[in-house]
Amino acid sequence: IDPTMDVFAEIERLKKEKNAIVLAHYYQEPDIQDVADYIGDSLGLAQQAEKTQADIIVFAGVHFMAETAKILNPSKKVLLPDLKAGCSLADSAPADLFRKFKEKHPDHLVVSYINCTADIKALSDIICTSSNAEKIIESIPVDQPILFAPDKNLGAYLNKKTGRNMLLWNGACMVHEIFSLEKITKLKTRHPNAKLIAHPECEDPLLRMADYIGSTTQLLKYTQQDNGSEYIVATETGILHQMQKASPEKHFIPAPPDNSCACNDCPHMKLNTLEKLYLCMEYEAPEILMEEQLRLAAKKPIDRMLEISR
């Protein structure tokens, strides 16, 4: 890229020329959030992808999110700035192992968190996201055994909230398991008025300490509506950009990770950059493509989720 190029302006030009929409997750770098037409959590992004009139969906997020957009809107060209932007949680459920696990529990209904591959979706009965998971579980008769995948932390949180005893796949997100309880406790003594807000992908001991638990959109809304002034945020740091924009007078502190060499940036989400976003719009690649049989099988449980979430 020509270093003198105004990448922001070029992206705006390409959006108009190509009738393209940029959908971004809150974990994307601030520059990407600033050029996005819509910023949201996984549910909001899926809903936008389903209803857009644009010809091209530029998905600034990770692979399973762009894949979901393609599943819902196959006539659109779906672009992902970096095809390697994966997800440790989605990777924790390989389809062949999951199929075998499912076969051992044929009486169980399979509820999968949207952070999984299209292959896992195709093996699922219903999908959920962090913002509608409780509602989805509550919609299932209490005597129906459930297998929940791939996030064991979200699954355990849901078991606690709904009183169910769902069988859990042993997967987790590398970003949400990195936080140090000890450091958070110390931070709270230095900031006694700070509220701890956490994503349900975090482990149970952290969630027990939290003042509020929710999806990224729910966490953002909470900080806007709550009358507090300081928050320790236990999720990926990208969300702080919108929190700070919406409440400039409030103070947001990223929850500290265990190891001082580590950080709570998602390495997959952060593979996307503004420059790669521009290049993928210019060259219309890399593109998400999917076999039609897989797409249709993966669409069924997503449609069930969207129906319940309307």
Task: Mark the binding-site residues for iminosuccinate, compressed into ranges.
Answer: 25, 42, 113-115, 130, 199-201, 216
| Residue located via tokens 């069930």 | 304
Please identify which residue in 62, 133, 198, 277 interacts with ligand SF4, judged by CB under 6 A. 62
Which residues fall within 8 angstroms of residue 239, CB to CB, at 6 or more apart?
A: 26, 27, 216, 219, 220, 233
| Residue located via tokens 């002034």 | 229
Calculate the alpha carbon distances from 51 to 129, 134, 215, 293 in Å.
Answer: 18, 24, 22, 22
Task: Select the span of 5-13, 45-53, 85-93, 135-143 touching ligand SF4 (CB under 6 A).
Answer: 85-93
C-beta separation of 232 from 253 below 8 A: yes
Q: Where are the alpha helices (DSSP H) in the chain?
A: 7-18, 30-35, 42-51, 63-72, 88-91, 95-103, 118-122, 133-138, 152-162, 181-190, 204-209, 216-225, 239-246, 274-283, 292-309
Specify the residue, 14 or 40, whose C-beta has the smaller distance to ligand SF4: 40
Smallest separation (angstroms) from ligand 13P to the CB of 288: 16
Tokens at 182, concatenated: 């000890």
Please identify which residue in 129, 223, 264, 272 interacts with ligand 13P, judged by CB under 6 A. 129
153 binds ligand SF4 (CB under 6 A): no
Measured distance CA(157)–CA(234) in Å, rounded: 15
Report the partner that residue 252 touches, choosing among ligand SF4, ligand 13P, none (CB closer than 5 to 8 A by kind).
none
115 binds ligand 13P (CB under 6 A): yes
272 binds ligand SF4 (CB under 6 A): no
Specify the residue, 73 or 216, whose C-beta has the smaller distance to ligand 13P: 216
33 binds ligand 13P (CB under 6 A): no
Amino acid identity at 130: S
Smallest separation (angstroms) from ligand 13P to the CB of 218: 8
Specify the residue, 25 or 295, whose C-beta has the smaller distance to ligand SF4: 25
129 binds ligand SF4 (CB under 6 A): no
Give the chain's radius of gyration (CA, Å): 19
41-60: contacts with ligand 13P (CB under 6 A): 41-42
Specify the residue, 42 or 162, whose C-beta has the smaller distance to ligand SF4: 42
266 binds ligand SF4 (CB under 6 A): yes
Q: Identify how many contiguous H helices and E strands the chain contains and give both numbers.
A: 15, 12
3-class SS of residue 167: strand
236 binds ligand SF4 (CB under 6 A): yes
Specify the residue, 216 or 242, whose C-beta has the smaller distance to ligand 13P: 216
Which residues fall within 8 angstroms of residue 57, CB to CB, at 6 or more apart?
A: 20, 21, 23, 49, 66, 69, 73, 76, 77, 78, 79
Specify the residue, 242 or 278, whose C-beta has the smaller distance to ligand 13P: 242
| Residue located via tokens 């969300």 | 239
What is the contact mask toward ligand 13P in residues 153 to 192, using x (rule: CB under 6 A)? --------------------x-------------------
Measured distance CA(123)–CA(302) in Å, rounded: 12
Please identify which residue in 33, 68, 112, 130 interacts with ligand 13P, judged by CB under 6 A. 130
Footprint of ligand SF4 (CB under 6 A):
27, 62, 87-89, 115, 173-175, 236, 266, 268-269
